[in-house]
Chains A and B, each alone.
Chain A
Amino acid sequence: MMNYCLRIFTVIVAVSVLPFAWAQPNMLEGYEANNDLHSIYEAANEYYSGGELQKAANGYRYLIEQGTANGYLFYNLGNTEFQLGNTGEAILWYERAKQYLPRFGDLKYNLNYARQTLVDEEFRQPNYSGTIAFFMGLHDFLNVRESLYLLGVFVWLFGTLICIRIMVQSENITGVLRPALWTTGILLTLGLLSTGTKIHHLYYEKEAIVQASALDVKTGAGNDFSTHFTLHEGTKVRVLNQQDGWVRIDLPTAPGFTGYVPIDAVEII
């Protein structure tokens, strides 16, 4: 009896595992089965170097699908897509990488390079100058995570100075503390503003990249509506809302340009 039960159990286990055993080798063509993530990453890099770009892109995509969220990985996928001629996809992954690596020079360079190839030249991001450029540079210097850490440091610094101010009654120390408190307070306020804006921009304002080579922006959510203007692959748009398979978009750098496009024609960053 015991032997019989053991056989049945073995059969059930084998039937359950079999589909996975078949599926595993087909999951990632060109890569060895049961490879760990690191081996897949190295293999994808080698495919890129060897000019086998589609395989490299598959490898990077697989790693991202496994839950790896890293700017360098996104940047590599962006490079590969650009080399494959998919400018829209490339800019999408560069933009995603930029959220993680705002200071990475190669990323900035390649994103700018890819933007040069866009058809919609008039809708490029504005170039700031002077004081605005300085503050925008500071704002863009850190990613959200780094900004939050820095904000934490400012909070601790400000809190510590306040505690010293409460505990120490000496006039000499109070005189030194006052400018330090003001400076830290201003830094804390600016840090709060910058981080808040960044969080709002990244997580509450949806932006997307046009993936279609030419995209008619309609005046309403449907093909029957007239075309308001036309966008092309790689252009960044702001997504305002969704409605029946259509999204209402506008162009942050070109006021007045707003309309509806099919949801599958754009990809949210």
Chain B
Amino acid sequence: MFGTLKSYSTAWVIMALIGLAVACNGHAAVTLSASISNKVIRVGESTQIYLEISSDGGESFQDPQFPVIEGLSFAFKGVSSESTQATLSRGRITQIKKKDLIYIVQGDKEGTYAIEPIQVAVGNTTVRANPVQITVVAAPPTPAQPNGASGGSIQLQATSNNEGIILVPELSKDEVYVGEEVQLLFTALFPVNVSRIGLDDKRGQFQNFWTESFELMDSNRRDEVILQNRRYIRIPIRRYFLYPLTSGEQTIEPITMNCEVRMGGRLGLFTQGRQSSVSSVPIKINVKPLPAEGKPEIFDGAVGQFSLSSHIEETEVSVGSPLTLNISLSGYGNLRNAPPPVLPDLSKFDSFDPTKDESISVTEDGISGTIKYSHVILPQDTTANKIEPVRFAYFDPAQEQYITLNTEPVDITVYPSQRSGTRMSTSGSNRRMITRTGDDFRYIAVTPSALATVYLPLYRSVGYWIMVLIPFFLTAGIWVYQRKLDFLQKNPDLVRRNKAPKLAEKLLADAKQGIKEQDAVKAYAAISKALNDYISNRWNIACAGLTSDELKNQLMNQKISSEVAENVLQLLQTCDAARFSGGGMGQDSLQLDYEKTQQVISELFKVKS
């Protein structure tokens, strides 16, 4: 019975595990994300939408379904990557399938479009991508075709140098309005191999212009041209986007292109470089003032092509509760210097300073992007139930007229406040002070140590330098001492010679003690030892075992005078006599011998080695 029960239990556990695995498989995560390469395009232009589909259940994907949006066209471009990966996790094999797709979207009509939702069927489920927004603005004006101009641009006078390098400036137009974009392209033609190409534009050549530039020097843009039977490599260098700041004839002073001409060695080895440069001619642009006629009251200098949109996140709030008014200004032109859109009368609202979020890109075609302003406003009472249109005025050089953009008015419903006395102010003016709560702004430091003055430039204090320099001096001292020790270790005779005077001095002190104690044996023994040791240490002469004559000779060999040598011998003999005769010498003669020994040692000390 127990056996049957056990087998049932085992079967139940296995079935539960299988069920769990199936359940886990049934909840496979499928994700779909969408992104766009350029959020602002002109009418007729296209950009790419990237779709990334990922599933950890290994299901196959169907083609994405795009919504039908009037003003936009979609087309499939291709699959950029596709991968399947199997992983073993917690005893279960998981198959992760990924696919990256690229679609082309073309702007057919001006406007701001929210592309949502892009759907993809994965297995039995349908997943939706995140919304993507795109703004289509008016197409740029076709540049005027001046005499001799081709390809929509004006080719200016080319310049060349001794190497035959040619610099060609091209201007998109030579007559523009203040603030209107004008493009200046520099292309160079090289008959020789060059490297390190650069344009020197840091000398204030673009006075009275606000400039941006885009580098073009990549290998994909290079080509070969034949000019007067000579082969040239043509390289576009840089494109400038110029925005005139004042009217009148403006001159761009010459811009110099520097490069290094490669002087080839055999097989391309050992090449050498030589600096070469070529300057452009001065470039003149006629800048017209903006027309006074038709200028809107709210116009504040914006020139280009713009679009404006606004939206509010909540339309039903109570008094004193915040609303966020989001305004989006997109377009082509000098966006960075564009003035903010003009807000409607918000006297029935308390408002804070807006936050600004810029997304501006410089591409080969120009400067485009979006600036988003977020205004937090708080209705003061229930009559604050409408937000009038936000306005923005600009001059469109293509149409040569001023355009005023207006957003749609927004109706809101404001309920009476649930709390009493919560309204913050009735002034209605923009208030600067923002009281933040929670974790968004950190509190002051209340530590008492805030009053302790901290002296940062410690390097200006003498004490610091003393502390830092001590190790250096210590190291130097130890090094010198160690060198001296090593030297003395290698020269023991020198050590003994140097020690000889001190040792003699010490033994003479013993002799003096003997005289004081009236101990003649002790005194003479000390005198004898002082003389013997001094001579032995100083000249390495062992006095013991030498006859008087031998000792005298040896001393005289050391350039000691015979008189001093005689005195030494005499003193040694006196000492021997006194020591071995039992000390029968008188106190006076002992004192005399002591003084004589002092004198003799002093004389010996003067002898040069």
Contacts and interface: CB of A to CB of B under 8 A. Distances in A.
B498 to A, nearest CB: 23
A154 to B, nearest CB: 10
A109 B471 contact: no
A152 interface: yes
A121 B360 CA distance: 11
Given A48-B444, A121-B358, A227-B245, A162 B453 contact: no
A230 interface: yes
Contacts of A122: 336, 358
Contacts of A69: 453-456
B449 to A, nearest CB: 7
B479 interface: yes
B161 interface: no
A156 interface: yes
B1 interface: no
Contact of A70 (B245, B451, B458, B474): B451
A145 B245 contact: no
A68 B451 contact: yes
A66 to B, nearest CB: 10
Contacts of B444: 45, 48, 75-76, 79-80
Contacts of A229: 210
Contacts of A222: none
A226 interface: yes
A226 B208 contact: yes
B435 interface: yes
B208 A145 contact: no
Nearest to B458: A148
Contacts of B337: 230
A33 B453 CA distance: 23
B468 interface: yes
Contacts of B207: 219, 226
Contacts of A70: 449-454
Given A38-B448, A67-B453, A167 B474 contact: no
B86 interface: no
Interface string B425-467: 0000000111110001111111111111111111100001001
A72 B445 CA distance: 6
Contacts of B353: 85, 117
B365 to A, nearest CB: 20
B356 interface: yes
The secondary-structure label for the interface of chain A is: helix
Nearest to A56: B444
A119 interface: yes
B449 A163 contact: no
Contact of B467 (A75, A99, A152, A202): A152
B294 to A, nearest CB: 26
A76 B445 contact: yes
Contacts of B3: none
B482 interface: yes
A160 B445 contact: no
In this complex, the member of B353, B355, B474, B475 whose beta carbon has the largest number of chain A beta carbons within 10 angstroms is: B475
B202 interface: yes
A159 B474 contact: yes
Q: Among the interface residues B448, B454, B472, which one has the most CB atoms of the partner chain A within 10 A?
A: B454
A256 interface: yes
A249 interface: no
A73 B471 contact: no
A166 interface: yes
Nearest to B204: A219
B447 A72 contact: yes
A84 interface: yes
Nearest to A198: B456
Given A37-B451, A83-B434, A144 B458 contact: yes
Interface string B467-509: 1101110110011001000000000000000000000000000
Given A69-B453, A149-B458, A226-B207, A155 B446 contact: no
Most buried by A among B355, B442, B482: B442
A51 interface: yes
Given A72-B449, A121-B358, A166-B479, A226 B245 contact: yes
A156 B471 contact: yes
A226 B356 contact: no
Contacts of A38: 448, 451
B246 interface: yes
Contacts of A79: 441-444
Contact of B458 (A63, A72, A145): A145
A110 interface: yes
A145 B468 contact: no
A166 B475 contact: yes
A163 B478 contact: yes
Contacts of B246: 226
B303 to A, nearest CB: 16
B451 A45 contact: no
B468 to A, nearest CB: 5
A153 to B, nearest CB: 10
Interface string B126-155: 000000000000000000000000000000
A109 B464 CA distance: 33
A65 interface: no
A99 B456 contact: yes
A144 B355 CA distance: 35
B434 A159 contact: no
25 contacts: A38-B448, A38-B451, A45-B444, A51-B435, A70-B452, A73-B450, A76-B445, A76-B450, A79-B441, A79-B444, A83-B434, A83-B435, A85-B353, A100-B454, A106-B443, A106-B445, A116-B355, A152-B468, A163-B475, A166-B475, A166-B482, A199-B457, A199-B459, A202-B456, A227-B245
Interface of B: 202, 204, 207-208, 210, 245-246, 336-337, 353, 355-356, 358, 432-436, 440-459, 464, 467-468, 470-472, 474-475, 478-479, 482
Given A70-B450, A70-B452, A110-B442, 10 more contacts: A41-B450, A45-B444, A48-B444, A69-B453, A80-B444, A84-B432, A85-B434, A113-B441, A159-B472, A226-B245
